[in-house]
Amino acid sequence: MELTPLDIQHKEFRRTFRGVDPREVAAFLQQVADLASSLLRSLDTLKGELSRKNNTISDFRDREGLLKDTILAAQKTAQQMKANAEKQANIIISEAELKAEKIMTNAHRKLMTLQDEMEELSRHKVIFRTKLKGMIDSHLKLLELESDQDKEAQGKLSLFNPPYSKP
């Protein structure tokens, strides 16, 4: 039989010559003692379970703290990596822009050099044409002069040499 607090409060013992029946009191006290013993064992078991659960909770809280720290460290590392990547990207872009500027400057310089060379060649062409034309004109005049001299010389020869007549 299981005792409740109400059973203990309302327990009445039979009256005997000297008061209450000692066997009934002893039996009741044994029941209360057994119940108290059982409750103490249950209490010890529950305390043990509570201690284990508290340890488990403590372990979980420690792990949670470690996870939070790890997540924060990972986020910080990710931010640093991102910042470093942005810096590296900016450096690469700056270097690329500088190289592009140098390439453009060199290309412009080469273009200017080529334009100067083309102008120089054009001047040389004009000079060459002028000289060639002058030489051709002078050779033509010489040829004309020579031709005129040849005609004149033939004209003089014809004055000294009468044409042959046939006998």
CA 37 to centroid of chain Cα atoms: 71
Distance CA 150, CA 146 (A): 6
Residue in 41, 25, 36 with CA at minimum distance from that of residue 3: 36
Among the residue ranges 24-28, 84-88, 108-112, 142-146, the one predicted with the least confidence is 24-28
What residues contact 20, with CB distance under 8 A and at least 6 apart? 13, 14
Q: Are 13 and 25 in contact (CB under 8 A)?
A: yes
Residue 50 identity: L
Question: How confident is the model at residue 161, as a pLDDT?
Answer: 59
pTM tops 0.95: no
Confidence label for 146 from pLDDT (cuts 50, 70 and 90): confident
Where in the chain are the domains?
5-145
